[in-house]
Structure 1
Amino acid sequence: MHWYLVHTKPRQEKCAQENLERQGFQCYLPVLPVEKLRQGTVTVSDEPLFPRYLFIRLGRDSSTKSWTPIRSTKGVSRLVSFGTEPAKVDSYLIELLQQQQSLVQHEAQQLFSHGEKIQLRDGPFAGLEGIYQMADGDRRVIVLIELLSKPVVIPVRLTSVRKLS
């Protein structure tokens, strides 16, 4: 048994994984918890580490499951291959990804990090640049801006802040 790479349709990694597992295939989809802003509320959701890809464990001999249904599985685009040979992935890489995923399982990638430059989008200070300090509950953040040549810490709505590149 070896690991191979499946290319999925856009944003259908989880759908492809579920459908392949229903057919008896062993799959692995590495994900990371990420904070997202949805309707003014911060939520944490799992996002694929490699968008549009998942790993599948398959055998090559006659006693193993046929590979034919993989291509027609809902959510799957194709099995990644080099020429006519499917792309084999080293088991060590899969083990390493699984270890790393277990380490960061409960640590969400935050929308903003301390000291990051931001810009206020609306309100009385719209257009001003500032520095993100920290979250203040689910819907507000603390921002450091310069006002009248002095640093001022203000709480603002999370939706009123955007990252500066």
Structure 2
Amino acid sequence: MTIYTAEGSLICAQQKSWYLVQCKPRQDERAEDNLARQGYEISRPKCRYQRLIRGQRQWTVESLFPGYLFINLPADSNWGPLRSTRGVSRVVSFGGVPVAVSDSLVKQLQARAEIDVKSELKPGDSVRITEGGFAELDAIFMSMDGDERGILLISLLNRQQQISVPMESICSNE
């Protein structure tokens, strides 16, 4: 069987590549657990989101791509056990041939989806602003302002001021 990457380059049969696996509805975690138990190298990038649940803001961890995960296999692998794994629907393919996903893309997704310190900030935590007009100032984290911004308390001209900044421009001082 000849297998190509999404960019069109040929893959050596023994070389491992990442492939996209479609999971059955709401069974991402089940598929991940079952594939890991079988010894497969898998990646299911996750992100933390703050959701309003029963009137309270709570952090939840969800798949970055609900219904999908990545698996690292040689091109000449037996694909049969994947299809019969509980939680797995199919290996994403075009013309009946699984298409490899670039290693760099999967690594970037893994790095970006790691639960980072910013998602665990609590009101009162000491932070430093790393970008923008307030760069290098220390501040106190107050709360989230939507999904991507945080409200900070800074001391400016001997007064306490609240500002809203993107979360990517905040790092924890602790």
Bucket of the pairwise TM-score, normalised by the shorter protein:
0.5 to 0.7
Contact 1:9 1:75 in 2 (8 A): yes
CA deviations over 1:54-88 (Å, ceiling 9, x no partner): 00001134xx6x32111111111111001121021
5+ long unaligned stretches in structure 2? 1-15, 120-142, 152-174
Point out where structure 1 has 5 or more consecutive residues left out of the alignment: 115-132, 135-165
Matched residues in 1 for 2:144 and 2:87: separation? 29
1:98 aligns to what? 110
Alpha-carbon distance in structure 1 between the residues aligned to 2:89 and 2:43: 16
- Name the count of aligned residue pairs: 113
Counterpart CA distance in 1 for 2:85 and 2:144 is 34
Aligned to 1:2: 17
Q: TM-score, normalised by structure 1?
A: 0.60
1:47 and 2:62 aligned: yes
- Which residue matches 2:157? none
Q: 2: distance between equivalents of 1:70 and 1:42?
A: 38
TM-score (norm 2): 0.57
Q: 1:96 deviation in Å? A: 1.2
Q: 2:165 maps to which residue? A: none
CA distance in 2, matches of 1:19, 1:3: 18
Equivalent residue of 1:74, what SS? coil
TM-superposed CA distance for 1:5, in Å, is: 0.3
- Deviations 1:9-55 (CA, angstroms, capped at 9, x unpaired): 12211111111000111100011101122233322111111111100
Aligned partners of 1:5 and 1:55 also within 8 Å: yes
Aligned residues: CA RMSD: 2.7
Q: Equivalent pairs: percent with the same residue? A: 41
